[in-house]
C-alpha cells in the first residue's frame, strides 16, 4: 500500500514467450492510463542489496 494515498501500488509480473513480444508490450502499454493512473511497464531487474 502507498502510505500517502492508502491505495494499492498495484504491481505485477508477466512472462513473455520471447524478447520481441516483451518489447512490443512495453512500447504498447508503457505510459497508458488505467483507472485514472499512469501505467509504467519495464523489464524486471534483479533485486539490489539494501544496507
**Which tens digits make up the pLDDT trace of 21-34?**
999 999 999 999 98
Query: Could you tell me if residue 49 is inside a domain?
Result: no
Give the total number of structural domains in the chain. 1
Question: Is the Cβ–Cβ distance between 41 and 26 less than 8 Å?
Answer: yes
Cα–Cα distance, 23 to 35 (Å, whole number): 23
Cell digits of residue 17: 514467450
Q: Where are the beta strands (DSSP E) in 1-51?
A: 33-34, 37-38
Query: Could you tell me if residue 3 is inside a domain?
Result: no
Residue spans of alpha helices (H) in the chain: 19-29
Residue 35, domain extent: 14-41
pLDDT (tens digit, 9 = 90+) per residue, 32-50?
Answer: 998 888 999 999 888 888 8
- H/E element holding 34? strand 33-34
Does the pTM surpass 0.85? The reply is no
Query: Could you tell me if residue 32 is inside a domain?
Result: yes
Q: How confident is the model at residue 6 (pLDDT cuts 50, 70, 90)?
A: confident
Amino acid at each position: 500500500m502507498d502510505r500517502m494515498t492508502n491505495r494499492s501500488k498495484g504491481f505485477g509480473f508477466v512472462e513473455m514467450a520471447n524478447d520481441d513480444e516483451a518489447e512490443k508490450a512495453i512500447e504498447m502499454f508503457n505510459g497508458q492510463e488505467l483507472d485514472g493512473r499512469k501505467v509504467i511497464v519495464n523489464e524486471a531487474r534483479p533485486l539490489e542489496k539494501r544496507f
